[in-house]
Structure 1
Amino acid sequence: MAAGLFMLSAFCLLTSLPHFIYGGGGVETFTVEHGFNPNEDELQIIKEQEKKKILCNGNLMDAVKCEVDEGNWGPQIIFFCAQLIAGVGAALYSSLGTAYMDDNVKKSKTPALMSLSFFIRMLGPAFGYALASFSVNTFVSPSLTPTITKSDPRWIGAWWFGWFFLGVILFFFAAILFLFPRQLPRAAERRRLAAIRRNEGKATGGEDINEENLPASFSDMVVTLKRLFCNKIFMMNNCASIFYFFGFTPYWIFTPKYMESQYQQTASDSNLYTGSVAFAFTAIGILSSGFVVSRYKPSARKMAAWNCFVGAITALGYLSYTQIGCAANDNAVVMNENPGSLTSCNSNCHCDYVKYAPVCGEDKHTYISACHAGCTDQIDTGLNTTMKLFTNCSCIPSTDAFSGGTATPGACPVDCKREFHMFLIVMCLLKFLGSTGMATNFLICIRCIDEKDKTISLGISFTITSLFSFIPSPIIFGMIMDSTCILWGKTCTGTGNCWRYDGPSLRYFLNSVTSFSIAIAVIFDILVWHLVKDLVVFDEKDEADEKEKTTEKS
């Protein structure tokens, strides 16, 4: 476990390494220490250059050009090595750490402990967002005094600081974990009693046969793998996990983008709802289920039945997403949808490489950008110059016959509050119910195999879900999302990122495939329910000892 943490520490430190090798990307020159002190004229020139990137430019020389960066293979190689180390370290820590915790507590306390562990892990992303916010708001070279502000497009935050900080913290915890014994007293006693029971059945001459002290061999590994792959409960449970994770993975990645495209939420609001509201309901579900299972100690069949119920409700919930759409947003008109097919009103604007930045015209239509709307000028309407108004827009009808229309930054607002609130309610319900099945599924997974196979079984489960869920799922769902794209960006080499999706198609395809995947997982859960009727989840000896201690105290 300590080795796994040391590897994760190395991953974080390696990720921050490009900053120390390549520096801050040249922005160090915009500091007091390097004598950079821009005057008002230079700032005005910069503002004019930024304007040209979004406005209609009749002069081809002023239009946005296709820019190709030379790139550098060095950072990419460093990041690849770091990710490789992270994969090995995470696998070691996850499989060995989980088994280590389970070995050293009473089996009746495992659900509560694991639920608490899952909850603490969930705090990681929340801490990560806070650390990321602090890092990007700090200048890339903290020892220097920048003369540019965070609103300046040349600003680069201290992206490396969070990785470096986490690497140091993980190294500290790994050193502490390295001091722990290989076995704590409870685990040692449990293994000793298990060895005695095995010897009573195998040894006739009083010889102590301790399999753990025998040297490991390839043939032993083959026997262990055969034993696990022939375990019907273990395999059915892993098959269910494959389809569950396959369906859940895109929502862990694309939920903010889904909210933006379906309900016209801002990126910041989407991340807020995903990271706070969803987190709260998931945390409540994890903690409550763990303590309920520890308190009432349900049988394996009852826990498997609960998993089936949760899976069925989840499949129906995701299917219901297909009906929770915002018609006003689906029918919102985006003018000049194909950047390569410009109309006569903006045919001379040279908007091919202008990035997607929707504007709302005074005609209440949304346009791809100020350039695509034919806007040739921009004025600041706020005291702090943050409020902009695009003017002389040739594609926007105007009440003034002698000038073009006007537009404001951002898409024209649509009323999707009711649909968005319905989506949030269903999402929170699914997050709560789904998290209640984590403890029960984990218990079935580790109790259906021999005690000595616990660590390798967790490693196999991690490998199986990675190969058949976490790797293919983002690729397949990414292809599904791309198939619903109606507006692509343009780069020097061809097609760029998708700028706008077809709302109904995205909603139906994404949620239907997810619901179908979860429905298949429920079928495997039903098979698990059928097979676990004789599975013992809680240690009867631990329960008897606990009752005996309670009686003695009274």
Structure 2
Amino acid sequence: MENTLFIVALSFAYFSKALTGTYMKSSITQIERRFDLSSTHIGLIDGSFEMGNLLFLAVVSHFGAKLHRPRLIAVGCFLMAVGAFLTGLTHFFMGRYRYKYDTVIQVFQNDNLSIAACVDPLKTLDHMPEIQIEDSGSSMWIYVFLGNALRGIGETPVTPLGISYIDDFAKAENSPFYIACLQTITLLGPMFGFLLGSYCARLYVDIGYVDMESVTITPKDSRWVGAWWMGFLVSSGLLLISSIPFWFLPRSMPKQESEENHETPVCEILNKTEDAQNNNQNFKLTEIAKGRVVVWFLPSLRRLLGTPAYFLFLCGSILKFNAFIGLLTFKAKYMEQQFGQSASRANFLIGVLNLPAVAIGIFLGGLLMKRYKLSVVSGAQLSFATSFMSYLLMLLQFGTKCDNIPIAGLTVSYNGSVEMLFSECNRDCLCSAEEWDPVCSDSGITYISPCMAGCLSSSGHGKNTVFHNCTCVSTSFPAGSSTSVRLGQCPHAKDCSRSFTSYMAISVLSSFINALGATPGYMVIIRCITPELKSLALGIQTLVTRTLGGIPAPVYFGALIDSTCLKWSMKSCGGRGACRIYNSDMYRYPTEKFQASPETPNLPSATKIWVKIATDLEEGGEVHTVEQPPHNDGVISTSNAQEAKYMTETCAEVIPLSSDGTNTEIVGKESIGHKVIEKQDDHIDDKSKLEKESQQLN
């Protein structure tokens, strides 16, 4: 009963933390606009999760195993809940959101007065009720940064301690099934996270506190801010609930009994090998306690990085993770700016199309490895083929684009004049250059504000306000055409919807193909590492990719986005706020180049891995064979002799021989349908081996 409770509780914790993490990604645009931040700043906030997580990951993973693991997981879930709650609570520390520099229609929104936008704003304000303008871009974003970092700290004990706890009480045949259940639940979290982000982005940020009839902007407006805070409060509640069961679980649970009461000779050998490894682990822990970490760590690290296949894989992982994190962080924003989609629809499409494609690709990749028992070379070939196809699809995305929206003074000129904000038609209106309250003419041209359009009168109120007699519209088009404008910027051209459909089709296909080769490529590297270095290899790969990819990628990707901004909002203190409109062409090039730049050197890296493996296997000579014991129950033989030689000599190190010229290598422990070779040398003690390596290092 307790076993089932732990699996269910940990699965729900995995789901909750994955949902919260992806909801943060889906709310990037809303937070950016609410706090009047640049994309660079918002990238720093997004990277704070990795900062907090990596800061405590090593400490918790090492010392947590000696403490009450379920309660440590409970504390971690509670900290994540507090972090998410602090992030959402920031909304209530601030005043009501005001999309600043709105025209005078906000004051007279319930009146039927005719408003002349083309007047001196200072004179107009003398006859208006006083409006309190609050600066939404305050330093309150610090609390969002801290909340996200606290969420990262809280996540540190969940995965390592949860997996180790399962491995301790579950029998060997059940452990992979339990872990597979966790991974499946984890894949559902991001989908629901983006769907929650889609729902909250449709709701106005101050819903329940303002009359929605008074809001003159729509979800497609660049000033629209959804109820971003609501999702963080929901996810905080889920995380808090997930922490409760762990408080009532024991420190450890008895090991599940195996279905078979007898052990084969091979199992006995495996148990002896495991005991030797445990003794070796105790030796390492003793050395750590004595402060002599260098004695065993540096030689192992040197051997690991000296493996060509692993080193190339590590470099490729860093490049690929940079592109992945940068794209995931700003993918919804790209769909908004490039194709005119609302944040709600962009998040919805990512949640129901892209993420399921990734999940299916990962599953099928593992299934192919197991079903067809792919060798090292075959796995490398599949990984290379999928990377190359994904790269071609990414290049194809360059052709899916939408032209810039015609904006007078920014992307098009006033009546053929130089592209400047002011023209002869609005020079006498005394408009503010900092204003952004776009209006759309019947001709499809957007003007920065009714004042910039030179409008002299209006009708209607609120969202239905229409400005008439606009001098800039009349001078740009022949007599008899409409000189009226309506609130909001003009939509993209009709052919943009077709481009967006093509973009989504290519994006989903690329996501699937990329994920299809992820598992084979990952397992190729796993099979090229000696068992004693496998944990270190995975740890180094996680640490390096998240440090060099998860933290800097959102920051410099945001800086690239900022460089394409055409119109910035201005804070009340005079500083630069969030971007209101981007140059679509300039925005597209850095985004696509950012994806292509890591992939371009990654292809030669993948090619080198493939060629290295194939070459070493072709040059392989006599292979040390493995003598099968009399009782071969549970033994998985190595069918390809040259592959065995590569795994023992090229990827790792030569298997040491005993005095009679034979080795004591055994084969066992099938993991996800792959053969993993374990080595045992009766004549070389682990401790003496480490001492020799430390002497060579000195």
TM-score bin, normalised by smaller chain: 0.7 to 0.9
- 1:183-224 deviations in whole A, cap 9, x for unaligned? 7778xx999855623778x9xxxxx94534753514346523
Report how far residue 132 of structure 1 moved: 5.2
Q: Structure 1 452/333 Cα, relative in aligned 2: closer, same or farther at 3 Å?
A: same
Report how far residue 311 of structure 1 moved: 1.5
Cα pair 2:88 2:229 within 8 Å, conserved: no
CA distance in 1, matches of 2:581, 2:498: 22
Are 2:503 and 1:391 aligned?
Answer: no
CA distance in 2, matches of 1:21, 1:411: 33
Aligned to 1:308: 384
Aligned to 2:240: 168
Q: Where do 5+ consecutive residues of structure 2 fail to align?
A: 1-68, 97-104, 216-224, 412-418, 615-642, 652-665, 674-698
Aligned to 1:318: 394
Q: Structure 1 321/76 Cα, relative in aligned 2: closer, same or farther at 3 Å?
A: closer
Aligned to 1:541: 668
Report how far residue 433 of structure 1 moved: 0.6
Q: Structure 1 393/433 Cα, relative in aligned 2: closer, same or farther at 3 Å?
A: same
Are 2:561 and 1:484 aligned?
Answer: no
CA distance in 2, matches of 1:489, 1:164: 32
Q: Structure 1 506/229 Cα, relative in aligned 2: closer, same or farther at 3 Å?
A: farther
CA distance in 2, matches of 1:222, 1:266: 56
Aligned to 2:485: 406
1:517 counterpart SS class = helix
Work out which of the residue numbers 281, 300, 311 in structure 2 matches 1:227.
300
- 1:241-283 deviations in whole A, cap 9, x for unaligned? 1010112222212222222333333333322322222123222
Cα pair 1:389 1:409 within 8 Å, conserved: no
Q: Structure 1 246/148 Cα, relative in aligned 2: closer, same or farther at 3 Å?
A: closer
Report how far residue 361 of structure 1 moved: 0.5
Cα pair 1:388 1:409 within 8 Å, conserved: no
Q: Structure 1 191/354 Cα, relative in aligned 2: closer, same or farther at 3 Å?
A: farther
Aligned to 1:462: 542
- 1:329-367 deviations in whole A, cap 9, x for unaligned? 24x421022998422333425333333x54321232122
Cα pair 2:458 2:468 within 8 Å, conserved: yes
Report how far residue 94 of structure 1 moved: 4.0
CA distance in 2, matches of 1:268, 1:373: 30
Aligned to 1:343: 423
**Structure 2 counterparts to residues 5-24 of structure 1, below 5 A:** 6-17=75-86
Work out which of the residue numbers 286, 293, 315 in structure 2 matches 1:215.
286
Aligned to 2:327: 251
Are 2:198 and 1:127 aligned?
Answer: no
Cα pair 1:312 1:519 within 8 Å, conserved: no
1:514 counterpart SS class = helix
* Matched AA of 2:237: F
1:499 counterpart SS class = strand
Aligned to 2:577: 496
* Matched AA of 2:668: K
CA distance in 2, matches of 1:44, 1:502: 29
Aligned to 2:620: none
Q: Which moved more, 1:212-221 or 1:250-259?
A: 212-221
Q: Which moved more, 1:94-103 or 1:300-309?
A: 94-103
Report how far residue 470 of structure 1 moved: 1.7
Are 2:584 and 1:521 aligned?
Answer: no
- 1:83-116 deviations in whole A, cap 9, x for unaligned? 3333334344345556777896869996x87776
CA distance in 2, matches of 1:62, 1:445: 70
Cα pair 1:106 1:542 within 8 Å, conserved: no
Aligned to 1:32: none
Cα pair 1:109 1:294 within 8 Å, conserved: no
Cα pair 1:24 1:156 within 8 Å, conserved: no
Aligned to 2:102: none
2:109 counterpart SS class = helix
What number of residue pairs does the alignment pair up? 508
Report how far residue 20 of structure 1 moved: 7.2
Report how far residue 520 of structure 1 moved: 1.6
CA distance in 2, matches of 1:432, 1:181: 40
Q: Which moved more, 1:249-258 or 1:16-25?
A: 16-25
* Matched AA of 1:334: I
Cα pair 1:132 1:162 within 8 Å, conserved: no
Work out which of the residue numbers 256, 272, 286 in structure 1 matches 2:362.
286
* Matched AA of 1:300: V
Report how far residue 423 of structure 1 moved: 1.5
Report how far residue 474 of structure 1 moved: 1.9
Q: Which moved more, 1:243-252 or 1:270-279?
A: 270-279
CA distance in 2, matches of 1:119, 1:358: 46
Work out which of the residue numbers 40, 60, 69 in structure 1 matches 2:122.
60
Considering only aligned residues, what root-mean-square deviation do their CA atoms show, in Å?
Answer: 4.7
Report how far residue 10 of structure 1 moved: 1.0
CA distance in 2, matches of 1:444, 1:101: 26
Q: Structure 1 297/252 Cα, relative in aligned 2: closer, same or farther at 3 Å?
A: same
CA distance in 2, matches of 1:123, 1:402: 54
1:435 counterpart SS class = helix
| TM-score, L = length of structure 2 | 0.60
CA distance in 2, matches of 1:147, 1:67: 17
Report how far residue 437 of structure 1 moved: 2.4
Q: Structure 1 274/22 Cα, relative in aligned 2: closer, same or farther at 3 Å?
A: closer
* Matched AA of 1:284: I
Report how far residue 290 of structure 1 moved: 2.7
Q: Which moved more, 1:152-161 or 1:450-459?
A: 152-161
Cα pair 1:358 1:370 within 8 Å, conserved: yes
2:236 counterpart SS class = helix
Cα pair 2:73 2:243 within 8 Å, conserved: no
Q: Structure 1 474/448 Cα, relative in aligned 2: closer, same or farther at 3 Å?
A: same
Are 2:591 and 1:510 aligned?
Answer: yes
* Matched AA of 2:509: L
- 1:415-437 deviations in whole A, cap 9, x for unaligned? 22332222222111101111112
2:517 counterpart SS class = helix
* Matched AA of 1:428: V
Q: Structure 1 499/70 Cα, relative in aligned 2: closer, same or farther at 3 Å?
A: closer
Cα pair 1:242 1:464 within 8 Å, conserved: yes
Cα pair 1:99 1:454 within 8 Å, conserved: no
CA distance in 1, matches of 2:444, 2:420: 23
Q: Structure 1 461/19 Cα, relative in aligned 2: closer, same or farther at 3 Å?
A: closer
Aligned to 2:497: 417
1:344 counterpart SS class = coil
Are 2:371 and 1:295 aligned?
Answer: yes
Aligned to 1:241: 317
CA distance in 1, matches of 2:336, 2:182: 32
Q: Structure 1 157/496 Cα, relative in aligned 2: closer, same or farther at 3 Å?
A: closer
Work out which of the residue numbers 86, 98, 109 in structure 1 matches 2:151.
86
CA distance in 2, matches of 1:99, 1:84: 25
Aligned to 1:438: 518
CA distance in 1, matches of 2:171, 2:420: 64
CA distance in 1, matches of 2:465, 2:564: 32
